[in-house]
Structures are given as C-alpha cells and as structure tokens.
A and B are shown apart, each in its own frame.
Chain A
Amino acid sequence: MAIKFPSVEFFQELANRMQGNAAEFEKLGFCDTVMAVKVDGGDPHLYGLTFSCFDCTDVRELGGADELELDFTLVAPLALWREMFESIQKSGIPEPAYTLNSLSHVGDRMAVVYDDPEGHDKFYRFMATIQAFVNQASDLDIEWA
C-alpha cells in the first residue's frame, strides 16, 4: 500500500524499518539526537524525529520548532525531498548529488537550521545513521502530495 509523503506514517514506517534492520543500525552505533524534517511549500509540514540508542523512538508532526528541543532541522521544498527519495529508489543509495550532506552543503539547496553549534554538529556525528535511515525508503511505494 502506498504511503503518502509528507506524513507521520511515512517517517513512522522508516522508524519501524529501523527496528527491523537492527543489525545494520547497531553496527553504525549509538545515535542520540532530536532532529526535524521540514517540508516547505504551499502546505508546509514539520516532523520531529527522536533518535535514541539504535532506534528512532518518536515520530510526530510539530506545530512549531519549539515543541521539541531540536538539535537541528533539515529544511527543503517538497520537490527536493521528492528528488532525493526518487534518487534513493534508483539503486538503494542516493546518487552523489543527493546525499544529505551534498544537498545541505554548498549552495544550500537543503538548509540545516540550528541554534546551538553542538546540536548542528550532531548532524555530522550521526551522518551515516541518518543517511541509512532515509535510504530505507528505497523500496517504499510513495504517494507524493
């Protein structure tokens, strides 16, 4: 059954898959961060994702960034999230221009919003886990908003 993007169900499915892929995420190590994904556009949405130990333990839609103590937020328009997930779906990992780091580095197609530099650095400390988390969408049947 197709899962709508953006939606809480979409990120919850990734969180469920993370538990199912325990060996992969245990190998990557502890991941402790509270981050958000913001899908910008005419109908913007903000989702909070809490990672603890080897799991994503909480997924929720947020009314505002102050509802959780966020380390950082990844902000991109819907079209870019779509391009990124479609790239992941081609071969299981994103093409070079569509890794989370590449999208958020020079050119700032995807913005990384943060207050505290230590929170910001968590994006890089846990990069392999967060990338693996989104890569799990590689075979999801996605219904685009």
Chain B
Amino acid sequence: MSYYGSTDYSYNSDFNLRVRDMKKGNLDFGWLDDARDKVEVRRQDPRRGLMLQDIEVGDYAIENTPEVVRENRGLAPRGAILAEGSDQPDLGPTLNKKSDVWGYRVQSYWEEAMSRQWNVTTDVPWQDMDKYEIPEEIEFAFCQLCTLLSEVEMIATDLPSKWSHHMNSQFQEVKGFIATQCIDEARHAEVFRKRALANGVGLLRASVRGEHALKGILEADSYSEGSVFLHVLGEGFILTLFRSSEFISPTPVEQRMFQLVMQDEARHVSYGLQHLKYLMDECPEARPQINGFLDEAERHLTGLFNPDQLESMIVLGGKGTSPECIKRGVETVGAFQGKQIQEYFHRAERAGLPERRERSPLLELQQRMLTAIQAV
C-alpha cells in the first residue's frame, strides 16, 4: 500500500453515528441540498437508443466546461457536485486543458466503437480455412506479417492505456473512446496471433527496427505527441497496410479479418485527426512543438519498414518467390507505400498542418528505400 489518506474513514466516529441514526430511519437527505435543476434529455433517434450526444445538456455538456479544468482533479464525472473546499482528493491529472485531449465529434466515435465491436473467435470464418490450399511460401510470408502486426497492436493498446489516468475526468468521452481503442487493439493482437498459429506455422521473427519505432510512440512526452504519432501517422500508415493486406490476402478468410480490423483502425485515425485539428484550432502555439516532434517521428516510423516485413509483403504481393513474382511484389509494395505517404499528407493538411508535405523526410526516405530494393 502506498497511499494512506489523511483520514481513516474506517474509524470515523461521525460516520458511525450517522449510520446508527439512519438505521433508526432518520435520513437527512443532505445529498440533495445542491442538486441541479432537472435537464431535458431527448433521444434524437429512437433506433439508436440513448446516445452520448443526447445527454450533452446544460451543466453536463462539454461546451459548458471551461477550457482549463481547475476545480475537479479527482474522479467526479462532469456535472457531479463537488465537495466544498479541498476535500475532494487530488489524483494528480496532468491533462487538464481541453485541447490536451479533446477531438471534434469524440462522442460519436465512442458510440460508433461500441456499436461496431466484433469477436475474433466467432466473426472470422475460421471454419473455412480448410477449404483453401495456401502455398507454403505464402503461408510463411503471411505469418511473418502477422508477427509484425502483433507487435504494432501491442503498442497501440499500451499508448492509450498509459495516458488515460493522466486525463482529467471532465474529459470522460476521450477516456471512454481510448478505452474502446484498447479493446480494439487487444482484439487485433488476438486476431493476428490466432491467424499465425491457425495453419501451424506460428509466429516468426520479431522486429528490432520496428520495435524501436514503436518505442518512440510510447515514449512521447505529451499525450498530443503520442496521439499524433500513433493515431495520425502510425495508424494512418497501418490503415493503408491493412488495405494492402486485404488486397494481397491469400484467401477470403484473411480478407474478412482485414475488413474488420480496417474499420477499427480508420476510426482511431479519425479521432486522431480530430484531436490534432482541435489542438491546432484552439492552441496554435503548439504547432512548432508538434512539427518538431513529427520531424523525428516520421524518421522513427520508417523502422516499421524492416527487411523481414518488406520481404514478406513482396512475396504476398507478388504471390510467390519466382523472379517474376518478386518483381510484381516490389511494384505492389512500392505503390502502396506511395499511397501511405500521400494519404498521411492529406490528413495532416486537413488537420491544419499542410507544411508536413514540405518538411517531411518521408518521401525522400521512401525513394531511397525503393531505389535500394530495385537495385537488388
């Protein structure tokens, strides 16, 4: 035990006296003294049930919360009535400014996440795997890809969980959304692990370069830096990688798997984009810091293109290991890498960072990598 509060509530005599009184039927209803006026909540679309957007009313609405939260530093949800003075414990949240965490439409992303959950065990048609014969080199390449993707999903689970308790509880929707991200990413790690093992080949080589890149995400100094690295840059790239993986999947079973993971990934990217946009709109002074961070993060990210992953994608893209297949695979991988970078620049531009296109080392690094592959 490392937290001993200033009061030992288990031996509090006032409390014991009150309980004795209550047992006699003497309730004082003091908890109603400060009750707020009733609010009017309307379900806007009965088919959807009660949405978070429906309960954004009065003192409960985020728009009626100050940009910097000073009062509530504990676990009280937004709109709850706080104890007077400093009785409410301070849990030491470090993210107390709305622009530290908020993203436009975060409530709808949380609702969408809850509504579009799926189950690895039952929603992937594992029973169909026996219907298809997969050439051995393709199966090995696919399992190498699954190994890297499992590593990526680990960090994507850990980053949001690392930051959640640093967020002020006024920002409940962000905490809720990133909690859904944690379960999404845990599910992704589960699906890639299951698929790698399903045909008996199992997991192959873990990536040194890749894990250094992923460590950079986890070690970001602020939540916004971690978010722009993970959600916008990293997951943007991974979303395109999932699209490519669906495209080069050996059978409809893997295609289904990637269709499902891609939906979650795109939602994470959308939240990240809306957080970055909110940050740029409300806190433009953060721009130099985010740009400086991205200069380095984009370099880091290229670690995800490690030789094992590139080779496995080339074998999958070309559908084999003959010289013609490898040539076709190199073209496919080059095309999708170009797409990854362009889509990232589009998103950065939309979020208010058009300068990434000029500043970024990504295009040059990609060119160098392609030249190196083609020279082989």
Contact = CB atoms under 8 A, between A and B. Distances in A.
Do A and B pair up? The answer is yes
Nearest to A107: B335
B291 interface: no
Given A96-B251, A118-B350, A128 B47 contact: no
A125 B261 CA distance: 9
A117 B116 contact: no
Contact of B243 (A28, A53, A117, A124): A124
A99 interface: yes
B251 A106 contact: no
Nearest to A94: B252
Contact of B263 (A96, A102, A116, A126): A126
A127 interface: yes
A29 B115 contact: yes
Contacts of B336: 105-106
Contacts of B350: 116-118
A106 B335 contact: yes
B116 to A, nearest CB: 3
Interface stretch (B143-151, B204-212, B221-229, B267-275): B267-275
A98 to B, nearest CB: 10
Chain B contact residues: helix, strand, loop or mixed: helix
A125 B239 CA distance: 10
Contacts of A106: 244, 247, 332, 335-336, 339
Given A96-B251, A124-B262, A131-B259, A105 B243 contact: yes
B243 A30 contact: no
B112 A125 contact: yes
B345 to A, nearest CB: 10
B249 A124 contact: no
A141 interface: no
Contacts of B343: 117, 120
A81 interface: no
A94 to B, nearest CB: 8
A93 B273 CA distance: 33
Contact of A127 (B252, B262, B339): B262
A15 B111 CA distance: 23
* Interface residue tally on B, bucketed by range: 35 or more
B263 A30 contact: no
Contacts of B249: 96
B244 A128 contact: no
B209 to A, nearest CB: 24
Nearest to B331: A106
Interface in A103-124: 105-107, 116-118, 120-122, 124
B366 interface: no
Contacts of B368: none
B270 A121 contact: yes
A109 B136 CA distance: 29
A101 interface: yes
Nearest to B274: A118
Given A105-B336, A128-B263, A53 B47 contact: yes
A124 B45 contact: no
B48 A102 contact: no
B48 A99 contact: no
B265 interface: yes
A54 B263 contact: no
B266 interface: yes
B20 interface: no
B112 A99 contact: no
Contacts of B274: 118
A96 B252 contact: yes
B346 interface: yes
A30 B255 contact: no
Given A30-B48, A106-B247, 20 more contacts: A29-B115, A30-B112, A53-B45, A96-B252, A101-B259, A102-B246, A102-B255, A105-B243, A105-B244, A105-B246, A105-B247, A106-B244, A106-B335, A107-B335, A121-B273, A124-B265, A124-B266, A125-B270, A128-B263, A131-B259
Report the 5 A-B pairs with minimum CB-CB distance, sorted nearest first.
A29-B116, A124-B266, A29-B115, A125-B266, A30-B115
Interface of B: 45, 47-48, 108, 111-112, 115-117, 239, 243-244, 246-247, 249, 251-252, 255, 258-260, 262-263, 265-267, 269-270, 273-274, 332, 335-336, 339, 343, 346-347, 349-350
5 contacts: A28-B116, A99-B259, A105-B244, A105-B339, A121-B273
